[in-house]
Structure 1
C-alpha cells in the first residue's frame, strides 16, 4: 500500500499530513494553495479505505492509523518529521508522537478529537453513523454552522467519491474510542492544538484535559466563523497558525 496521495514543496522541514473522518486528503486542497513550499515539504496521506487507498480495508483503531502513518514516513525515507492532522487525524498525529517521540519534531493538531475517546450515548453514536445518508446536514448542523455553501457542497461531493459507508462506520469507531491520554505526556516536543472559534464540537473546554496532559502543549484559535474545518473556512489564518507552530 502506498498511503501518500500527494507530495508538495521542497523545503528541509518535512510534514506528514493526516486527514479526518469525513474526507480523504482532499480536505486540505484549499489550504495547500497557501503553504510555504520553499520552507516545507508536505506529504498528504490517505488512510486505508480513503482516496488512493479506497480498496484497502480500514485501519484498526487509532493505533492502526498511527502505524500506517509511521510506515508512510518510512517509505518516504523520513527519519524525522513533523505531523499535522485534522480532527481524527489530529488525534492520530498525537499518537504517532507518543509511539515515535524520537522521530517527531513537532505536532499540530487541528480541531483534534480527544485521545481519551469521545464517549457518545447510543442515540448520538447512531446519529453520527446515520449521517452517512446526509453528511452535508451533519457537517453544518454539528460541526461547521457557518460554512460557505460552495465549500459544503465540495466536501459532500468529495466525501461520496473518496470513501464508502463501511469506511465511514469503521472510522467512526476509531475516532470515538482511543485511550492514550495517560501516555501523551511521554512526548516532550511542541504540540499545538488549534480550534475554530465557531466549532460547536471541538472546543477549548473539550480539549482541556488533552492540553493539560501535554508536556509542551499550546492552544491557538482560528477566529471568527471558522468551525470544525478551519483549513477550508479560513485557510489563510489556519495555514499561518499551523506553519508558525511547526518546529
Structure 2
C-alpha cells in the first residue's frame, strides 16, 4: 500500500522546483494534494499532471506572505478534501548581499516569504493537522542554515530561522501527535538555482550548465540534486512510516556538509601519502 494512501496534503510553493517534486511524489504515494503557487499557470500544470496519473489535486494561488492567501489555501484544501494530514512549505526566494549591501527592503522581502509565509501556513493549517491521526509538517530549509556561502546573509538567516521554528513547533505540537521536521537540501536543479547560475555566468544555456556542474562538484556525489530526490525525502519524513521522527533537520545534500574543506596533502612525488597505510584512526 502507498505510504500516503487516504491522506491529504497542502504544498506551498508546490508549482515549481522542490515543491513540485514533493507534490508529485506525495500524489504518487496516494495523497490528495492542494498545490499552491504564486500564479495559476504553473500550479495548474502540476495539478493536470497529478490528475492525468489518476490522482486528486487542486490548485491554490497567491503570495503566501499574505495572510488571506495562506488562510484561503488551507480552507480550499479542507473544502475540497475534507481534511488535512500533511503540510509541506516550500515557497521561498533567494537574494544576494552581505550585511552592508543588504538593505532593509531586501531583508524584509526575504523574511516575508521565507519565514512569515511558513509561519502563516502553519498558523492556519495546524488546527486541522491536530485533528489528523498522523499530522505532519515538513518545512523546506537549506544547508545554508548550517554552513553558508558568501553574500547570502538574509537567505541564510531566514533558513536558520526555519530550523529553529520547526524545533519549537515540534515541541509544542507533540502533545497533539503532530510531527514537525525540516528538510535541508544542498544545491537542487530548480528554476531558482538556474536563475542564480545565470547571474554568475553569461546567461547562456551553456554558461548556466557550466556553473551548475561547478556547484555540483562541492557535493560528495559530484552533482546537484533533482527536485524529485528531495521530494522523495519529504514524502518519507511526512509519512506515518517516520512516526518517531520530529524536531529533526534532515539533510538531503549529497554529502555537501560531510566533506571537510581541507584536502589531504600529497607527497612531492604527487602520490597520496595515505595509500597503502594500515593505520586505523578509529581504533
Tell me if both proteins adopt one fold, taking TM over 0.5 as the criterion.
no
Which has the higher Rg, Structure 1 or Structure 2? 2
What interval of TM-score do these two structures reach, taking the shorter chain for normalisation? 0.3 to 0.5
- State the TM-score, normalized to the length of structure 2: 0.38
Report which of the two has the higher share of strand.
Answer: 1
Higher relative contact order (CA 8 A, sep 6+): 1
- State the TM-score, normalized to the length of structure 1: 0.43
